[in-house]
Amino acid sequence: MSKYLMNKLIHHVNMNEAAEDEYAGNPRAFVDKWEKTQKLKFTPEEREAVATKDYGKLYALGAHPFTLWSFTEAVWSHEKPREELVADYKEKAAKVGYPDFKT
Amino acid sequence: MAQIVTIIGITHNPFMPRLFQQPQQPPGAAKVKERIAIMRQKLAAAKPDVLITIGNDHLHQFFMDNMPAFMIGKMDQYDGTFYDEIREFGLPSCKLPGDPDVSDAIMDGAFDRGVDFAYSNELTIDHSIVVPMLFVRPEMDIPIVPILTNCIAPPMPRPKRFYEVGKAIRAAIDSLPTHKRVGVLVSGHLSLEVGGPKQFERKLQDPEFDANAVGWIENGDIQSAVDFCTPERMLRAGNMTMGYLNFLMMMGVANNSKPSYAEGLDAGFPAIPFFSWDSQH
């Protein structure tokens, strides 16, 4: 489990416009490159979730919900209308309830 | 000796400043703006020389690589806010003057009373201080002393500790070696969910929690507040309800006295808190 590292990537992408653009353009390539600069490593499941912008999975794995939503809106807003994104995010979150997001 | 001339507790809902600029606003918006105007007038009437601004960082300046429980800013001027908040909420970039001498004096006074603040000489503040300032002092011309809490990234300090830290801040303010008029501006919320299955519901998230939470402040009943606010109960009220804990710190700053104004406004949003103490002795 490396909830911390998931949060770190989400936080980095969310707070930096250049990283946001690069990640949104090619998340898998961004994640591969970024992880090499880190001391900690993702689990295979976490790596796949961040490489595919899979907000439902990230939520289920215990990413911090406050930052996760902000990140999700930033990296999906060009592909999905906001209303649809909000509804899908909530539906996916509802399926798993309240995973512990303590790190 | 310094004098506390007002204590105000208010929402930091980051969507509202933009909502209030829009031509079409939901019906409840007028009631919210009316309350904000009341608080703005109270602050203006109190004529503070310095504002102690208490809020919680939202994983911006704080992160899990180095997470303080409570932090005080010590700068001549503070930047607000961060790139993601400008993008997501449409908040403006702003500059707020600081009062590092008062920051130092409060930190020293807190150390003397068993509260060990972290401090920062390079602090950017997020919506927990920027939004209340936009609401009650949009001129942003009063020097601030920002105090930030961690009530978002567990493990977190206990509810009782928020109150105790508030008491220590109060005692430190009362002993400030200055005749400045001190205002205290606290932000937080009542039951709230962000990034969970119940986010963006235009209604009270947990009316029972909200009614109790306002009642403890109204009655100065800190014991019931700390007994009720277990992690499990707060989560049941909404996954970000821990932001209420800033208001327990506010109760400490008010020495648990009864407020002049206390309301959890139901205006078609999650409950919107408004509190004030118009004089302190």
Sort out which chain A residues have CB atoms less than 8 A from B243's CB and list them.
Answer: none
User: Among B215, B243, B6, which Cα is nearest to B148's?
Assistant: B243
Q: Is the dihedral of CA A10, A11, A13, A15 positive or negative?
A: positive
- Parallel, antiparallel, or unpaired for β B77-80 and B3-11? unpaired
Question: How many beta-carbon contacts under 8 Å exist across A and B?
Answer: 67
Torsion of CA B52, B58, B64, B66, to 10 degrees: -20
Is residue B257 domain-resident?
yes
Average pLDDT over residues A73-80: 96
Sort out which chain A residues have CB atoms less than 8 A from B154's CB and list them.
Answer: 101-102
Amino acid at the residue B176: L
Average confidence (pLDDT) per 10 residues, chain B, 281 residues: 95 97 94 98 98 98 97 98 98 98 98 98 98 98 98 97 98 94 98 97 96 98 98 97 98 97 97 93 61
Residues, chain A, total?
103
End-to-end CA distance of chain A: 10
Is residue B51 domain-resident?
yes
Q: Is A1's pLDDT higher than 90?
A: no
End-to-end CA distance of chain B: 12
pLDDT at residue number B281: 61
User: Cα B111 vs. chain centroid, distance in angstroms?
Assistant: 22
User: Among B243, B230, B231, which Cα is nearest to B270's?
Assistant: B243
How many structural domains is chain B composed of?
Answer: 1
pLDDT at residue number B279: 80
A66/chain B closest Cα distance in angstroms: 5
Q: Structural domain of residue B88, as residue ranges? A: 3-18+35-277
pLDDT at residue number A2: 86
pLDDT at residue number B176: 95
Chain-chain contact of B194 with A69 (C-beta, under 8 angstroms) = yes
pLDDT in tens, A29-54: 999 999 999 999 999 999 999 999 99
B98 DSSP assignment: B
Assess contact for A103 and A4: CB atoms under 8 A: yes
Residue spans per domain, chain A: 3-96
Residue A6's pLDDT band, with cuts at 50, 70 and 90, is very high
* Cα–Cα distances in angstroms (integers) from residue B11 to residues A2, A93, B8, in the given order: 33, 26, 10
Is residue B25 domain-resident?
no
Taking the C-alpha atoms of residue B174 and residue B281, their distance in angstroms, rounded to an integer, is 10
Q: Which two tokens stand for residue B132?
A: 């209340």
Is residue B142 domain-resident?
yes
Is residue B194 domain-resident?
yes
Q: Any idea what the CATH number is for the domain that residue B13 is in?
A: 3.40.830.10
Sort out which chain A residues have CB atoms less than 8 A from B200's CB and list them.
Answer: 86, 90
